[in-house]
Amino acid sequence: MEFIRSLESTLLRLRQRLKVQVLFVDNGSTDSSHTLLLSQSRDLLDFGVLVLTRNFGYETALIAGLSHANGDLFALCDSDGEDPVGFLISFLDAIEEGFEIAIGIRRKRHEPRRIQWLRNAGYVILSKMSD
């Protein structure tokens, strides 16, 4: 699994600076995702897999993951490979510089214009809220 290999190298760098827990959330997948995650991730330190009984939706899966996570600092990322996990290093840099929140915005994405507009509107709202 490419995502796990990418995550491992990022975790090595992050763990030099802080304690890291990895929690995968399986949002009711009908394949063997959770079994694959367990087998592929067994070498990762301090990791877990939260298996939801059905697909409750993206946001609910994020909330479930956050409610089961332990720690003072949290990062959310998808394992679909669209966004590289290496960005977590830059986010930690920003937090250590004194920022309370670090948010990544991908400028180029191949999706319908309607979705792009909604996503951009969300970024504007987040930006206004964080000022």
**What pLDDT is attached to residue 94?**
94
Q: CA dist 49 to 16, 25, 27, Å? A: 23, 6, 10
Burial class (CB in 10 A: 0-12, 13-18, 19+), 34: middle
Q: Containing H/E element for 22?
A: strand 22-26
Q: How does 84-114 read in b/e, with b if 16+ C-beta sit within 10 Å?
A: ebeebeebbeeeeeeeeebeeeeeeeeeeee
**What pLDDT is attached to residue 60?**
92
Residue 81 or 13, more confident: 13
**What pLDDT is attached to residue 80?**
73
**What pLDDT is attached to residue 131?**
63
Please compute the mean of the pLDDT values over residues 18-44 and round it to a whole number: 82
pTM of the model: 0.70
Give the span between the Cα atoms of 76 and 62, in whole angstroms: 8
Q: Which amino acid belongs to residue 127?
A: S
Contact 21, 45 (CB under 8 A): no
**What pLDDT is attached to residue 38?**
79
Does residue 48 carry a pLDDT above 90? no
**Tell me: the pLDDT tens digits for 76-131?**
888 777 778 888 999 999 999 999 989 887 777 677 888 888 888 888 888 888 76
Give the span between the Cα atoms of 30 and 62, in whole angstroms: 19
Contacts of 17 (CB under 8 A, 6+ apart): 92, 96
Average pLDDT, the chain: 84
